[in-house]
A and B are shown apart, each in its own frame.
Chain A
Amino acid sequence: MAKPLLEVRDLQKHFAIGGSFFGGRRALVKAVDGISFTINAGETLGLVGESGCGKTTTSKLVLAAEAPTGGTIEFEGRAVAALRGAELQDYRRKVQVVFQDPYSSLSPRMRVGEIIGEPIKAHERLSSADVRARVAQLLELVGFRPDVARLFPHEFSGGQRQLLAIARALSTSARLVVLDEPVSALDVSIRAHIISLLEEIQQRLAVSYLFIAHDLAAVAHLSQRTAVMYLGKIVEVAESLELCAKPLHPYTKALFAASLPSHPDELREEIVLTGEVPSAVDPPRGCHFHPRCPFVMPRCAEHEPPLVELAAGHSVACHLY
């Protein structure tokens, strides 16, 4: 098998909090605590989990916006941490991002043409005419007429702004686009349009996505594989359809049970979790999920379960298996 586009091994990001200039006790927030995954060229990996589980920190690490405190990220076979200067700039060209809130991610003082053209100018030596031509192409790709390039972001609705953000992410021929909750802020009918467009773009350009969201149905729809995170760890990863049909980890099951039905007569196994996600400052010993787990056993509080591959491509970190 060909080498994956992105390979993440044992990735860790611990933030030190508390303490002061004069010392004092410092605590560690283990935002991302030893996760591994791969993304192949032209593939979408979904990453689901609730707030505070480390999804967004993971995306910042992949974007090289934060330096990991442990583990490695390899892109096209090269360690990202070792990239410097022109090579690092080239990495940033190939790995782009679309954020959740299209109202804060587009500068209100720039015209659409400048917003989408800026990354092209930063990374490539092109004449203004060539940049304009590329911007026009990108606008058409996401379904706008090229003459919207002279408008400002406030003249667009939320969904249209998100399309502009997608065009900007694709402007430098990115190989991997990190989609950090790209549809959470949008209305349902617009959501469906953007998800379909992302699928279409992937088929045309063979770009890879890391799709981060808390909406399981949307993640499972767009991604070939889905990883479930809880308190800084990946607890289960599988092909998306397999994960929907046969979730193994109790937390994954609870997430599926908690996702809303698409029909009033849809039968759901009701697993109502008690309590809330504990703080990542002082996560529970053993399996992080054990205080909320309906199937907890004595050893769950003692030993942390490793992520084990049970069937081809289906891994789970749980003592039940």
Chain B
Amino acid sequence: MAPLLDVRDLRTYYVGFGGTRVVKAVDGVSFSVDAGETFGLVGESGCGKTTTCHSIVRLLAPSARIVSGAIELEGEDLVPKSQAEMRRIRGRRIATILQDPMASLDPLFSIYDQVAEPAYYHQSLRGQALRQRVRQLLSAVRIPSPELRMKDYPHQMSGGMRQRIVGAISQAGGPRIIIADEPTTNLDVTIQLQYLNLLKDLQRATGVALIFVTHNLGIVAKMCDRVAVMYAGKIVEMQSVRGLFYRPRHPYTKALLDSIPKLGVKEPLCGIPGQPPDLSDLPTGCSFHPRCGRAMDRCRVEEPRQDDLDGAGTVRCWSPVEELAARG
């Protein structure tokens, strides 16, 4: 069966200063997402995870260019499409949930207007049917008394409620896939748990696929089926979530896992020395080698290729980690 979304060798570069400075934000990224699956995209700030998502829905900054690669949604390549064609795909087939709900909601429009808009354009609902649909979407994201609250404006809602409204909007066009870019970063822990459970319930009800972009491995552990770890514009490791936590193969993945404090355990934490590299001035060879404890001479000169892990995933490393992770 063909995957729902298939991204192959995607390269998105930011070009500045008249072409003299090129930032390779996404540099040869390939992954695929099946229908109903939850796929995690993990990495630290500036690793290219957000640019990857923005390339898929083509919401890139003017200085960004998709240099090469294919993004196939249900077998149809999105890269050659015009913005007008993309407008009919965004919201209808791919929806996005962004980090800051206050920035994704328009303060001048009522909740009803904003939730109804995708259903109006993409599902051609009008009148009572549209109103009925909005009511149903709001109760699906557990907004109490939806009939009353749909007349409210975003400022009358709490942070958690606003993010749930954004969730309702993402559902409104009936998409096959939702890209959630750090959707819970601004929420409190108990509200975060409510929201993550809500997304799971929506997924169960509609069978939509989710791409979860996050820097939080805890969210990955809770939500995702498969996960890709990004570093300096490349996917350095891709595995099932269990595989990743039990047997991380890339030294960067292992270091990330070792740097999370575990509840009730006072083991010393190991951070990763140094800083993530400047994407316009990458180190030679493997981009991670200056921070890697396992770096060899080869890592400094030759870029590792993407190796298959016996069908279980891929890793980009000349000397993958062999030992099993300590059980957390």
Partners in one complex: yes
A216 within 8 A of B: yes
- Once the chains bind, are B259 and A189 in contact (CB under 8 Å)? yes
| A263 adjacent to B215 (CB under 8 Å) | no
* B residues 211-267 touching A (CB-CB < 8 Å): 215-219, 221-222, 241-242, 245, 255-256, 258-264, 266
In the complex the two chains form, is B189's CB within 8 Å of A263's CB?
A: no
A258: chain B residues at CB < 8 Å are: 189-190, 192-193
Do B262 and A157 touch (CB < 8 A)? no
Are A266 and B189 closer than 8 Å at their CB atoms?
no
In the complex, what residues of B have CB within 8 A of residue A192's CB?
Answer: 258-261, 269-272
For chain A, which range describes its interface: under 10, 10 to 19, 20 to 34, or 35 or more residues?
A: 35 or more
Name the distance in Å between B192's Cβ and chain A's nearest Cβ: 7
Please measure, in the bound complex, the distance between the C-alpha atom of A56 and the C-alpha atom of B220, giving whole angstroms.
30
Partner of A217, one of B191, B263, B268: B263
**Structural contact, A259 and B263, CB atoms closer than 8 A:** yes
Chain A residue with minimal CB distance to B197? A272
**Set of chain B residues within 8 Å of A260, measured between Cβ atoms:** 192, 216, 218-219, 221-222
Whether the Cβ atoms of A189 and B44 lie closer than 8 Å is yes
Binds B, one of A64-72, A84-92, A164-172, A249-257: A249-257
A184 CB to nearest B CB, Å: 10
Contact A262 B221 (CB under 8 A): yes
A179 → B minimal CB distance (Å): 15
Q: Which residues of B contact A312 (CB under 8 A)?
A: none
Pair A188/B192 contact, Cβ less than 8 Å: no
Q: Would you call B45 and A187 a contact (CB within 8 A)?
A: yes
Residues A255 and B190 in contact, CB atoms below 8 Å apart: yes
A147 to B246, CA, bound (A): 43
B275: CB under 8 A from chain A?
Answer: yes
Please tell me which one of the listed residues A190, A244, A265 contacts residue B271 in the complex, with CB atoms under 8 A apart. Answer: A190
| B215 touches which of A50, A187, A259 (Cβ 8 Å) | A187
* Bound Cα distance from A30 to B44, whole angstroms: 38
Residues of A within 8 A of B189 (CB): 50, 214, 216, 255, 258-259
Whether A195 contacts B264 by the Cβ 8 Å rule is no
Are A51 and B188 in contact, with the CB atoms below 8 A? yes
Interface residues in B, total, Cβ within 8 A: 43
In the complex, what distance in Å separates the CA atom of A272 from the CA atom of B201? 14
Q: Bound state CA distance, A245 and B264, in angstroms? A: 7
Q: How far does the alpha carbon of A259 sit from the alpha carbon of B196 in the complex, in Å? A: 12
The answer to whether B283 has its CB under 8 Å from any CB of chain A is no
Chain A's nearest CB lies how many Å from the CB of B188?
4
Given contacts A157-B275, A188-B44, contact A262 B263 (CB under 8 A): yes
Does B128 belong to the interface (CB within 8 Å)?
A: no
Q: A241 within 8 Å of B by Cβ? A: yes
When the two chains form their complex, are residues B44 and A187 in contact, meaning their CB atoms are under 8 A apart? yes
Closest to A273 in B: B190
B328 at the interface (CB under 8 A from A): yes
If A157-B275, A217-B262, A276-B160 touch, whether A261 touches B194 (CB-CB below 8 Å) is: no
Give A199 to B271 CA distance when docked, in angstroms: 13
Among A227-277, those with CB < 8 Å from B are 241, 244-245, 254-266, 272-274, 276-277
For A221, the chain B residues whose CB sits under 8 A away are 261, 266, 269
Q: How far is the CB of B327 from chain A (nearest CB, A)?
A: 7
Contacts A220-B263, A263-B328 given: A214-B221 contact, CB under 8 Å? Answer: no
B91 to chain A, nearest CB (A): 28
Nearest-CB distance from A196 to chain B (Å)? 5
**B193 is contacted by which of A188, A194, A220, A272 (Cβ under 8 Å)?**
A272
Q: Which of A159-190 contact B (CB under 8 A)?
A: 159-160, 187-190
**Minimum CB–CB distance for A211 against chain B, Å:** 12
Q: Which residues of B contact A188 (CB under 8 A)?
A: 44, 215-217, 256, 259-260
Q: Is B145 an interface residue (CB 8 A)?
A: no
Is B82's CB within 8 Å of the partner chain A? no
Is A257's CB under 8 angstroms from B193's CB?
yes
Residues in A neighbouring B261, C-beta threshold 8 A: 192, 195, 217-218, 220-221
Instruction: Give the distance in Å from the alpha carbon of A195 to the alpha carbon of B272 in the complex.
Output: 12
Interface assignment of A193: CB less than 8 Å from any CB of chain B: yes
Contacts of B272 in A (CB 8 A): 189, 192-193
A262 touching B197 in the complex, CB below 8 Å, given contacts A189-B271, A192-B271:
no
Cβ-defined contact, A277 with B188, below 8 A: yes
Min CB distance B197 to A, Å, is 6
Q: Are B242 and A264 in contact (CB under 8 A)?
A: yes
Is B158 in contact with chain A by the CB < 8 A criterion? yes
* Smallest beta-carbon distance B314→chain A, Å: 19
Return A240 CB to nearest CB of chain B, in Å: 8
> What residues of chain A lie closer than 8 Å to B242, measured between beta carbons?
264-265
Q: A188-B259, A255-B189 are in contact. List 6 more A-B contacts (CB 8 A).
A: A50-B189, A189-B256, A241-B266, A258-B189, A262-B263, A263-B245
Nearest 9 CB-CB pairs, A to B? Answer: A260-B218, A193-B271, A244-B264, A192-B259, A192-B271, A189-B272, A50-B188, A192-B269, A258-B193
Q: What are 27 A-B interface contacts by the 8 Å CB criterion? A: A50-B191, A160-B275, A188-B217, A188-B256, A191-B271, A192-B258, A192-B272, A193-B271, A193-B272, A194-B271, A195-B261, A214-B188, A216-B189, A220-B261, A244-B264, A254-B190, A256-B263, A257-B193, A258-B189, A260-B218, A260-B222, A261-B222, A264-B241, A265-B245, A266-B221, A266-B328, A276-B158
Give chain B's interface residues, CB within 8 Å of chain A: 44-45, 158, 160-161, 188-194, 197, 215-219, 221-222, 241-242, 245, 255-256, 258-264, 266, 268-273, 275-276, 327-328
